[in-house]
Structures are given as C-alpha cells and as structure tokens.
Structure 1
Amino acid sequence: MRLIPTEEQRELAATVRSFVAGRVPMARVREIAGSDEPYDRTAWTRLSSELGLAGLAVPEEHGGSGAGFGEVAAVLEELGAALAPVPYLSVAVAASLLVSLDAKDLLPGVASGEVVAVVARSDGPLPAGRIADRGAWVLEGVVERVPDGPSAGLLLVVASTGEGRRGVFAVEAGAPGLAVMPLTWFDTTRPMARVELGGVPARLLGESDSGAAIDRAADVASVLLAAEQLGGLRRCLDVIVEYAKLRVQFGRFVGSFQAVKHKLADMHCVLEQAESVVRYAVWAADEAPDELPEAAAFAASYLGRAYFQVARDHLLLHGGIGFTWEHDAHLYYKRAKADEVMFGAPRVHRARLAEALGLT
C-alpha cells in the first residue's frame, strides 16, 4: 500500500498550481461567479487540451492518458484550493462512469474536454425510463440538484428501468423535452441546475441494470470530492496562518495569542487527519475496489465536516474583515457548506459506513 503521492503526482500538482495562479486568480473566480457564464471556457480548454487533464483516468485507447485516480486527486486538490471555475470534478466522475459502462464512442470527446459530461443522479425518486415507439428509450422525471448542470453538453442520467433496476442514459444538451434550469445557489463558484425530463429521447448505456457501475461511480465521486475539499481546507489553513503572522492587535501579532495558537493547532490536526483519510480513499479507488465503498463513505463523512469547520474558523479568525464581501473567506465558507451536502449529508455517509462495517 502506497499512500504518499509519487514524484510524478507532486509535479503534476505543481503544474496545475502554477496554471491556476496565473490563469485563474481569485479576481477571475469572482468574475465568473458574478456572470451568466457557468465556467471559464478558456481555462477549461487549456486544462483539457494543453495539459490533457480531462482524460487523465481514461484509457489511452480511448483518447486518455491511462493514469489513475491518484493523478486526478492531485489535480482536484489544486483546483479546490483555488476554487477554479471549471467543471473538472463532474467530468472526472462522468469519465469514470463511462469507462465502467464501456461507452467507447463517448469517451474520446470527454477525454479531450470537447464534451462536458455531467452525471445527473437524484437523491430522491429516480426518473423513469420507458421504451417508446420503435424500441427507443425516453425519460420522465426530475433531478433536483445537478452540480455543473448548466455546463453540461452531455448528461448521464441515472434512471429506473423497471423492477428495481437502474440504468444510465446519455442525453444530449438541447434534446427535445429536456429543461436544464440554473438554480440560485449560495455557492456561486459551482453552478447547480434542476433537470426536468419530459419524454426526453435517451440512449441506454451498458445494461438496463447497471447498479454496480452506478454505485461505484457514486463512491468515486465521494472520493474525488474529498480530494477537492482537502485542497480547499489546506488553503484556508495556509492563509489564516500567514494572516496570524502579520496582523497586529494590542501591540502584538495575533498569532502570539494563546487562544489563536490553540485554534490553529486544532485546525492543523484536522488537516493531518483529513489528508490521511483522502490518501487511503484514493488508494482504494485505484488499487482496492473491495475497500472502496467503506473508504468512500469514511471520506465523505469526515471531509465534509472537516472542511466546513476549518473554513468557518478561517473566516472567524480574520476578524471583522473576514465578514466582508471583499474578502475571499466567505467564498470558501460557502463552498465548504455546499460540498458538505452535495452528495448527501455526513450522517448519510456515516450510516452507510456503519452498515458496511456491520455496526447497525
């Protein structure tokens, strides 16, 4: 078992860090968040084509790099630290699902970044798939919250195919009967959409019962989100530590106050635990599929609360300036809260973990 990032992964992370620092500074993040653009198209094109990041975990024969989730996680840590306005997380999850379903014809477009593919999976009742005239499938129903939904050129909709089965359907943006409505969401750095399916023609990918592939994709999504959260958590801690070294109050640096030092030490302990959890989960995604469900549930249950705790304290320790719109602290605070519940509240994942470990 190797949980320490390789030299290649560290170099990849450094490359992405340099790119986002130069191309997607926080001013650009705020500009995209305040506009009607769902993501930075120029940055996405360069990340996908020049750096080849969209297809990192896609096999080489399908236009990808044939790397693993360790490399994808390294990229996501840096993008999460910068709140980069690109749909990389959603595309990486969609690519992993397409690989599991052996959708060979769709993979090259996704791997090149030309097609922004997004998984639409409902936490509640699933949309219903039925066979209409001439044996074609159509979908009826709603998916309430789809991360990066407004960015999607291809939706991979998880829907019921009858008798308790679940299938994955490819739906092109602009398909008749499809309505993708952007939501007003408190985290403006990651757009959300409500997807309505009113008799939408769809293509079934793989088998009509693809429950195993869907569950694996959900676990992969939890692991990759945890990696992105780890990047944001680390950035929050780094920023507030530097601030504590510079800010003077009552004639002393605030970092010299015992209460502040203890809080920063607590935040550092959270970071160390979070990194261990994420490293294990990423390793399981690559090397130990039998351990992935437990590792994913553990990562999702821990990282959501951990990131929000550190982002909250990061905001509070900045004092009054942290509560202003001009400061970036509120962007991380809102991203942390949105991430905490994006794939289900921590209690949901704790229940999954307890069930997997036979503790219920």
Structure 2
Amino acid sequence: MRVSVAGLLKQRSGPDAVRAAMSSPSRIDRPLWQTLCTEIGVAALPVPDEFGGAGAGFAETGVILEETGAVLCPVPVYSAAIATAAILATGDTDAARRLLPGIASGEKSVALCWAGPDGWAAPGVTAEAGLLTGTAHYVLDGESADHLLVLAGTSSGLTVHDVDAHAEGITITPRPVVDPTRPLASVTFDDVAATTITAKADTEDTLRTAAWALLSAEQVGGAARTLDLTVQYTKERSQFGRPIGSFQALKHRMADMYTLVETSRSISRAALDAVAAGAADAPELAAAAHVYCSESFATVTGEAIQLHGGIGITWEHDIQLYFKRAHGSALLFGQPHRVVTELAKRLHGAMTAQPPTSR
C-alpha cells in the first residue's frame, strides 16, 4: 500500500501540481483525491466493514499520511481521517451508518468544526434546541466540504451534530494561511438546524488523541522528505571547490536531523498502534507524539533552511513550504507547550492524590 500510494503521488503530486492546487478555488486536488479513494481506498481504511470501509485501522491510515505529508499532497486525507475518528468516538451507530459509507468511498467530504477563536480548548459553536450558532475557526478543508461535523458547547457539556455544508444559515469563509498547502476556513452558523449525534462522555478526549496521533504521522513524512531534500542539495551545492555536504560541521547537523526523524517515526507509530488497539496509554502516547513530532519537524525544517542558504527562503524553492507546514501543523488541536503544561498538571495532581507512604 505504501509503495502504491508513493508511486501515484510521484506521478501526480509533484511540486508543480501542489502549487497549482494551492491557487485553485477549493485549494485541493479533487481528481487526485478521487483516485486515491476509488483506486486505493485511502479514506476507507479506518472505516469498519459494516459501514462500507476496509476494516483496517488508523495505523494503516498513518502509512498514507506519511506519504502524503512527504509531498505536501493537497488532498483531504487528514480531515477525512479525523472526521471518521469523531464519528467512531461518539459510538452512535445510526450516525456511522449514515455518514461513514460516503466518507469511505470518497463521495462525501466531511469537515470537522470544533475550535473557538482561542483554539480547541472550547468550541466556537453553541447548540440550543437543535440550532447551531457561532463560528468554528481553523476548519481543515472546510471550503471543499459537502458535510460538516460540529462539536458544539451546551449548558450540559459538549454535543456533536451533523449538517449539510450548503444548508441555509451557514457561511464558509476561506482564510489566508501561512502554510498555503493546508486550507483553513471559518464556518459561521446562524440558527442552523442540525442533526444531533448521540455522543459518549469521552468523545472529545478520544478524538483529540486520534487527531494528534494521525497528525504525527504526517509530520514524520514531511520531516523525512525535508531531510532527503537537504542531503540532496548539499551534495550538489559546491563551495571552495567541493560539495558543502562533505564539510564535517554540516554532516553533524544532518546526522542530528536524521536522529530526530527516526525517533519521531518511532513515537508516532507507537501512538498510532496504541490508538488502533484502544490501549490505556494511548492518550499519553498521542500527546507525547504531538509534542515531540511537532518540535522535531520544526527543528528539521529550520536546519534545512539554514543549510540551503538564501535560496531556502525564496518562494521558488520548495523547502520553505515544509518550514511553513511544520510551524502550522504544530498548532493544530493544541499547541505543544500547552500540552506539556496540561500533562504536568495531571502528573502533579496524580502524585499529590496518592497517600504518603510510611517508612
């Protein structure tokens, strides 16, 4: 599967195709997405058999995300995966039967609406009497969505709703982005009637765990390709009559980049395996993968910019796109430093809750 996806992306998602999609109306490559869904079945991987999917899991989706992340492929594979994760996390069989077959086939694009103006700590949309009001920010692939899956706040907690993206009262606004390979939109709801999905109490936490683990796989793919591009460039760029990659100081820096890529790959796959297995430590592993892979990707791309020199910051060179993807993806579903702070609070609380031991 990895070889098949990589081969297809090599043919149809080169730098020129990526840049063309960046300037298209929906900012995605729709024909390529349909090919990935119909011929390889990438969207169907985490969808259970009973809902028209392949019955694999999120670990297999991680394989796809490594490959699409490596070429900054402009297709909604990540947004489809987290929409699937959200539906499965609710435990609502009727909603799964209604929505997942369309996602699995690629016929229906579903965008997740969650974040408020300050991020994902609190939803931007409220629900009252079945009507949605407010604005969801940072919606991935929102402008190309056929359907919206909305996490909304109520007086009793978080609820989940689904609604047609073209329903009356919905305004989808494409937003300018630092990372042009990742389309983001704001979605405003003005008393929009929506179908409520019965959700479990831990739906939000389960979804965040899956989103972090899946994102880490995409980050690994981007970091690995950044390293490959840097090594290739330092073999070709000469100074003082020899390739700059032969200088010992630069070799050491690329060796450090390699270490970050490989350790990121290890923790990402551990997190995805834990999510797929429903392991008790999946939330901690996913949080660790989000923090580590985000920081590693940013470090690797920062080093790549330095090793490319002045050309690395020009629009014509692709390495700057990876630098922007690294910094943009780190902010999704909670910034790393905030995640570390929250984990520290939980650890401190668990330690203080334990009774003191007597000697």
TM-score, structure 1 length as denominator? 0.91
| Structure 2 residue matching 1:55: 3-state secondary structure | coil
Q: State the partner residue of 2:330.
A: 340
How do 1:10-159 and structure 2 match up within 5 A?
A: 12-101=1-90, 102=93, 103=95, 104-122=97-115, 123=120, 125-126=122-123, 127-131=125-129, 137-159=130-152
CA contact (8 A) 2:141 2:185 kept: yes
* 8 Å CA contact retained: 2:227, 2:300: yes
* Secondary structure of residue in 2 paired with 1:349: helix
Shift of 1:62: 0.8
Q: Which runs of 5+ in 1 are unaligned?
A: 1-11, 132-136
Q: Is the 8 Å Cα contact of residues 113 and 137 (structure 2) preserved in structure 1?
A: no
Count of matched residue positions in the alignment of Structure 1 and Structure 2: 341
Quote the offset at 1:38 in angstroms.
Answer: 2.3
> What is the DSSP-based 3-state SS (H/G/I as helix, E as strand, rest coil) of the residue aligned with 1:342?
coil
Q: Residue 235 of structure 2: SS of its match in structure 1?
A: helix
Give me the whole-angstrom Cα distance separating, in 2, the residues matched to 1:286 and 1:262: 36
Matched AA of 2:288: F
Which secondary structure state, in structure 2, belongs to the residue aligned with residue 111 of structure 1?
helix
SS at 1:17 equivalent: helix
Counterpart in the other structure of 1:184 = 176
Q: Which amino acid counterpart does residue 6 of structure 2 have in structure 1?
A: R
Q: Which runs of 5+ in 2 are unaligned?
A: 351-359
Could you tell me the TM-score, scaled by structure 2's length?
0.92
Structure-1 separation of matches of 2:340 and 2:274: 18
Q: What is the CA–CA distance in structure 2 between the aligned matches of 1:44 and 1:262, rounded to whole Å?
A: 39
Once superposed, what is the RMSD of the aligned Cα atoms? 1.4
Deviations 1:273-317 (A, max 9, x none): 111111110111112431111011101111111101111111221
Deviation (angstroms), 1:357:
3.8
Q: Does structure 2 conserve the Cα–Cα contact (< 8 Å) formed by 1:54 and 1:91?
A: yes
Give identity over the alignment, percent: 39
Measure, in 2, the Cα distance between the counterparts of 1:75 and 1:150: 23
Whole-Å separation in 2 of the counterparts to 1:46 and 1:215: 32
Runs of 4+ in 1 over 6 A off after TM superposition: none
Q: Secondary structure at the match of 1:106?
A: helix
Separation in 1, partners of 2:348, 2:286: 16
How far apart are 1:351 and its partner, in Å? 2.1
Could you tell me how far 1:124 is from its partner in structure 2?
A: 5.1
Measure the CA separation in 2 of the matches of 1:211 and 1:187. Answer: 34
Query: Does the CA contact (< 8 Å) of 2:47 and 2:53 recur in 1?
Result: yes
Post-superposition CA distance 1:246-277 (Å, at most 9, x none): 22111111011122111101111111211111
Alignment of 1:171 onto 2:163:
yes
User: What secondary structure does 2:280 align onto?
Assistant: helix
Correspondence for 1:162? 155
Q: 1:176-216: CA deviations, max 9, x gaps?
A: 11111000111111110011111011111114xx3412221
Match of 2:315, SS state, is coil
Encode CA deviations 1:301-340: one digit per residue, 9 max, x unaligned. Answer: 1111110111111122111221221110111111111001
Larger deviation, residues 349-358 vs 84-93: 349-358
> Which residue of 188, 194, 212 maps to 1:196?
188
- Corresponding residue of 2:354: none
DSSP-derived class of the 2:281 partner: helix
Contact preservation (8 Å) 1:294, 1:356: no
Match of 2:215 in 1: 225
Instruction: Choose the corresponding residue for 1:302, options 292, 297, 301.
Output: 292
